[in-house]
Amino acid sequence: MQTAVVIASAQAETTLQQAAHWAEIVTALMSFVVIVTVVLLARQVRQQALDGRTNLITTVGGAFIDHPETRKYFYKGATPTGEDDEAQAIAVSLAGAMDYTAAHFDHMPSHTREAWRAYFDFIYENSPVFVEHLEEHHSWYGSRFQEYFGYREATPYVRAWRRVRLGGTYKCPKLLRNEPTASQGPGSGGRPG
């Protein structure tokens, strides 16, 4: 009788070991499936963000093609005289595209994010019609966009990036517009010429 109990116990132990082994295999497979799913979802989010940015920037680019005379209001620091509906419409479209882009900074490779930030800074420094639009309507846009342009308290991440970019001190773009750079000298209002 003791032999039968020992055999039954050994069989139960073997069955438990086999079950544990299969449980380990199933757990490993499930972990693999979860990892693959997360990677595929991350790729999909990045692709959707890229598609959205591309569509928005293509729209703005199309406006510059249709109305090349408005480029000076965004790239040359010119101020529209009177009502320039095309320039104002482009400012709204550009702000929307930039808002969408800023909302997706976290999903971009660092070199892409830095290129967009350089573009944001350039537009802010060279487009009075864009700045006027932001001054009047910054509440239309998301928090990341507002933080970037100084309409909302910047996150530590944005402040750290600006510190590196500006040689150790954080300054929001709104404040930078009125500060001359070393090459411009005092009294130029931070703008060339």
Tens digit of pLDDT for each residue in 182-192? 444 333 333 33
The reply to whether 42 falls in a domain is no
**Overall number of domains in the chain:** 1
Q: What is the pLDDT of residues 96-107, one digit of tens each?
A: 989 988 888 887
For the ranges 5-9, 30-34, 43-47, the lowest mean pLDDT is seen at 5-9
Q: Answer whether residue 74 is part of any domain.
A: yes
pLDDT of residue 177: 47
Residue 73: predicted pLDDT: 92
In a domain, 3, yes or no: no
134 located within any domain: yes
Tell which wins on pLDDT, 57 or 134.
134
136 part of a folded domain: yes
Quick one: pLDDT at residue 180?
Answer: 47
d(C-alpha 175, C-alpha 152), whole Å: 13
* pLDDT tier, 72 (very low <50, low <70, confident <90, very high otherwise): very high
Tell whether 156 is covered by a domain.
Answer: yes
Q: What is the mean pLDDT of residues 19-31?
A: 82
Whether 38 is in a domain gets the answer no
Q: Is residue 41 part of a domain?
A: no
Say which amino acid occupies 128.
Answer: P
SS3 per-residue string spanning the chain:
CHHHHHHHHHHHHHHHHHHHHHHHHHHHHHHHHHHHHHHHHHHHHHHHHHHHHHHHHHHHHHHHHHCHHHCHHHHCCCCCCCCCHHHHHHHHHHHHHHHHHHHCHHHCCHHHHHHHHHHHHHHHHHCHHHHHHHHHHHHHCCHHHHHHCCCCCCCHHHHHHHHHHCCCCCCCHHHHCCCCCCCCCCCCCCCCC
Q: Is the model more confident about 170 or about 191?
A: 170
- Indicate whether 130 pLDDT > 70: yes
Domain region containing 72: 51-176
Mean pLDDT of 74-90: 86
Lowest mean pLDDT: which of 21-35, 109-123, 154-168?
154-168
Cβ neighbours of 151 (radius 10 Å): 18
- Work out the mean pLDDT of the chain and round it to a whole number: 75
